[in-house]
Structure 1
Amino acid sequence: MEDPVAHKRSVTVADVAKAARVSKATAARVLGGYGVVSGKIKDQVMAAAAALEYRPNELARSMSTGRSGIIGVVVGDIENAFFSLAVRGITDAARVAGFNVIISNSGEKLEAEKSAVDLLIGKRVDGLIVTPARCDSIDHLRHVRRAGMPLVLFDRTIPELDVDSVTGDDREAAIAATRFMVGEGHRRLAYVSAMDAEGNGFIDIGGISNSAVRERVEGFVSVLTEAGSPNPVHYVRLGATDQPQTDAVIKRLLADPSPPTAILASDSLVGLRVFKSLQSLGLSIPDDVSMISFLDADWTTVTVPPITIVDQHVYEMGKLAGERLVARIEQSPLAVERLRVRTRLVTRGSVAKR
């Protein structure tokens, strides 16, 4: 039997106007929220719209008002608790200002990010918040600016782009975490990141395309240099992109003639993978290997022992980015700012004295 609902056409403004016994122009003013009509007429139109289950055509509305009421967000990895918390902050800020949010996940892949940005521009979003997969390939982001669309960068900065950004104090956070481990007597420290490895494993810090990773590695290396390490980048490892890759990274580190006694994990996903890798090898934290992870993820408080973390205040970062973009959309006269949210080290039981 043919489903009559499948062929039911969309209710139009003209349908609402006819049911409310007003002109189409009057119905459009009420439904679009512009112009002046009496309270009685407004009630008539809204009652008719409700009875007919009218749904506005957002594309038509954006063409007539110049606004879609939608913000586009492109994040690196929504599976990562960092970005989940950030999106919560962004959407809360957007909702308060009357905006909806479309979220796209790039998977930290540049081409996926470019496609997402193009799609969101095509959806006529009012502004974009983007976490750049690479900070050295930015033509698509320049296009956003040329199109006159407000843009805020999240978690990473690109000095060549004259746009607002919201990040953590990544270099200072890594310095604080590394100094704590050095202060506990550790001298052989490893830094493990999920960023894809390139080349033959040689770490060119200046060539790291992710600004957050680069700044953290710089902070990590600076402390080891101060502590007199002869080769502070020796234990820096990229490529911990999943559990098998992380297992391989940890095994190679521990097979070193002088293995590291402590590990700094670049984010909560990497931290959990490192924790599992050490467990699978039968190693104890912190007796055999100490560790610190970025982000106060839920898992870090339920392990034995609980994990020392860098609290990044991610919700606040996301909320600040959302508020900043809304201000740009509302055309507030703001100077471009690169806003940094301070972090704090929360010490628990995962770092032993040496």
Structure 2
Amino acid sequence: MTDLKDVAQLAGVSRATAARTFASPDQVRPATREQVFAAARELGFRPNLLGRQLRLQTTNLIGVVVPNLLNPVFAEQFQAMERAARLRGYSLLLATTDYSTERESIVVEELLRQRVDGLVLTVTDAESNSVLNSLTSEQTPFVLAYHQPSNPNYSAVSVDNRAGMALATRYLLDAGHRRISMVAGPALQSDRARLRYAGYCDAMRAYGLKRRAVIEMPAHTQAEFAAVEPFLQGPQAPTALVCSNDFLAISLIAELRRNAWNVPEQLSVMGFDGIALGTQMHPTLCSVVQPIGLLASTVIDQLLAQIAGNAPISHCLPCHIRPGDSTQPLEETPDARVQ
């Protein structure tokens, strides 16, 4: 049976170098790494990682839980985290929940059974979540991505969702809009959407304007014209819509244009996330940008620090407006203000 010694001999390196090539390939010179891998392929050798994991009581695996991959923000986050984790010798296992709290419990248990060393979680609601309570009591390392939990025992990395949406709403207000509504998924199930609605209300109140009820869509990332059409009629119809996430905004623009509404000429639309897709559409999407790459690397750093025994900490990252063609200034008379 072929073993590591045979691979090292064929590759012309020491056994220790061959072992390091498989354990930490980024720490070996590319030419040496290719020699070892070529020898392994020729001999049909693959290292037994399970034995090493059992000896060290670690798997170098991180479990990642996100609502779905339909929203590109989570796909971009996962790709950036995978790069950051790989540089540190870790691999990722991914699970999705479709915004179901029951599913969150199931997939977290499945990942723990695979002996992941820690978890990165984006859940529906971080404020009342039995899974997080259990992980804390069991001292399982985890970091929340995009959440701003009030519990100091939770480690989290996010932007300030409330301040970010206030920034977006002020951007529209400064552009002359006064009749602004927010569009979000079902019943603001997401704690992030609730914070963003609070930020919208903050900005409207600061301008002496009455907040409007959320225009609710049947899904977090999918708009339906039938759900928004009733709000577009009459003298108090909104001139601008701010969406709880970019993918919802992109879907909404498509629905509006299919139904003969011009964006931004008749209705300005703004998103929240700053996904790359927003810059590749027409009109380009105006959005609040979350630094997804920085968030991903910070999440991995914080989780590995917890795995090493450090206490949970949280970071709130800066966000900014990315201008786009989906909004435009509006000239409106003062009597259009809704007190």
Alpha carbons 2:302, 2:313 under 8 Å: kept: no
Q: How is 1:1-354 mapped onto 2 (pairs within 5 angstroms)?
A: 16=3, 53-160=44-151, 162-194=153-185, 196-197=186-187, 208-230=188-210, 232-234=211-213, 236-241=214-219, 245-255=223-233, 258-331=236-309, 333=310, 335-349=311-325, 350-354=327-331
Is residue 110–residue 133 contact of structure 1 (8 Å, CA) maintained in 2?
yes
> Displacement of 1:253 after TM fit?
1.9
SS at match of 2:92: strand
Instruction: Provide the secondary structure at the position in 2 that maps to 1:309.
Output: strand
Q: Distance in 2 between matches of 1:270 and 1:167?
A: 20
Could you tell me which amino acid in structure 1 is paired with residue 323 of structure 2?
T
Which letter maps to 1:211? Answer: D
Encode CA deviations 1:158-177: one digit per residue, 9 max, x unaligned: 32361210011211111111
Distance 1:325 1:217, change over 3 A: same
CA distance in 2, matches of 1:245, 1:270: 6
SS in 2 for 1:125: coil
Identify if the C-alpha distance between structure 1 residues 111 and 48 changes in structure 2 by more than 3 Å, giving closer, same or farther: same
**Where do 5+ consecutive residues of structure 1 fail to align?**
1-10, 21-26, 35-44, 198-207
SS in 2 for 1:249: helix
User: Secondary structure of 1:119's partner?
Assistant: helix
- The TM-score normalised by the length of structure 1 is 0.78
CA RMSD of aligned residues (A): 2.9
Q: Tell me, what secondary structure is at the counterpart of 2:224?
A: helix
Kindly state the Cα deviation for residue 73 of structure 1 after the two structures are TM-superposed. Answer: 0.5
Tell me which amino acid in the other structure corresponds to 1:351: Q
Residues 56 and 140 of structure 1, relative CA distance in 2, 3 Å threshold: farther
Q: How big is the shift at 1:240?
A: 4.3
TM-score of the pair, normalised by structure 2:
0.81
Aligned residues: 309
State the AA in 2 paired with 1:307: L
% identical aligned pairs:
24
Residues 18 and 153 of structure 1, relative CA distance in 2, 3 Å threshold: closer
- The letter of the residue matching 1:337 is I
- Pair 1:66–1:302, CA change in 2 (3 A): closer
Residues of 1 paired with 2:168 and 2:312: CA distance? Answer: 30
Query: What's the offset of the Cα at 1:48?
Result: 9.5
C-alpha contact (below 8 Å) 1:156/1:210 kept by paired residues: no
Residue 136 of structure 1 deviates from its aligned partner by 4.1
2: CA distance, partners of 1:304 / 1:324: 38
What is the deviation of 1:246?
Answer: 2.5
Report the structure number with the largest CA radius of gyration: 1
Query: Deviation digits for residues 4-42 of structure 1, max 9, x if unmatched?
Result: xxxxxxx7xxx738979xxxxxx9xx96999xxxxxxxx
- The alignment partner of 1:294 has SS state of strand
| Structure-2 separation of matches of 1:158 and 1:71 | 21
Distance across 2 between alignment mates of 1:275 and 1:297 = 15
Unpaired runs of 5+ in structure 2?
8-14, 24-35, 332-339
Inter-CA distance 243–176: structure 2 relative to 1 (3 Å threshold)? closer
Stretch moving more, 47-56 or 159-168: 47-56
